[in-house]
Amino acid sequence: MPLPILLSKGSLILKILPHIGATIVSLEKGNSGNLLKSDSRLWDDKEVPEQSAFSGFKPYNGHTIWVSPQSQWWTQQDINTQRRDSASPWPPDPYINYGDYTIIRKESHCISLQSPESPVSGITIQKDIAINDDESIYLNTIFTNTTNKVVSWDIWYNTRVDGFSKVYVPVASDKDVRVVPVLNDSTTEMPYQIVNNFFSYQTTMPEGIFTRRCSKTYIYPNRPWIGAFTGNNLFVIRFEMHPQKSIHPDQALVEIYNHTESDTSDALHELEYHSPKRSLRPDESMEGWEVWKIFDSPDLKTDNERIAFLQQLISKGEL
């Protein structure tokens, strides 16, 4: 099986799996280690889920692109009628997630990849990934309608990091934050806080009768970025700020999901950004982007120290 493709410039190294949905599975700066949540044992996986409307889900994690809203994932296709008629919210499109992407062009620091046509979502995806001279990373995504009818989606960026990373989103007030815990016999909510206009989860392990903790938070931030502290690094995801009314009401401009289980290796944070939803005529395209930047940070122990560090970067105009 193919091994990851490497992009590099300066101290940055990216690893991408073209044969598994062009998933970005590793992001390293110097000796940081992998800042993304991804299991390297799966990178040469010989049992990739089939490109089929009946395939299930396999957690390669890392960074991927989904269509959105999730409530409509299976409603714009006629192959798997059971998923269509139930408006199934899971799994995501296997053609997009597990397809073997074609490399359009590649240099040492940049790559463009094209997905197969998806009969589930009715689109192809082009992913353009480049490491810039300042060691920021530019990710541009193009959806193109390949059907003979109108399809309607937004572009959903989903980046996974370790569940115990300290993730912060700047907000104007708690009115811009909606937390939805997962509650059942085995799962309880994840604690969170809003301090000095920063939302963050207070990641903890499940206790007592519970085997999992997880919550999903829908946020309209007052600045267009998400920050994740991992070790001595601050990983920042920037995006375009859109009017709140342009985002599908089932989703949010920013969404943060936090999950833990009794095994600490299962801890997961998902850092998500949504573009506005658009209706695409046949052959019409839409684009979205993110820019990633890694800052060196001291070994900060508390929320107050980390928030002060973020505020210092804001005052310098770096965030």
Using DSSP bridges, classify how beta strands 177-181 and 166-170 pair: parallel, antiparallel or unpaired: unpaired
pTM of the entire structure?
0.97
What's the pLDDT score for residue 310?
A: 98
Per the CB < 8 A criterion, the answer to whether 18 and 103 are in contact is yes
> What is the average pLDDT across 24-36?
97
Question: In this predicted structure, what is the pLDDT of residue 69?
Answer: 98
What's the pLDDT at 3?
80
**Does residue 63 surpass a pLDDT of 70?**
yes
Name residue 241's amino acid. M
For residues 224-236, average pLDDT = 97
Better pLDDT: 197 or 44? 197
For residue 96, is pLDDT > 80? yes
Average pLDDT of the chain? 97
CA distance 194 to 147: 44
Predicted confidence at residue 1, as pLDDT, reads: 57
Phi, psi of 313 (to 5 degrees): -65, -35
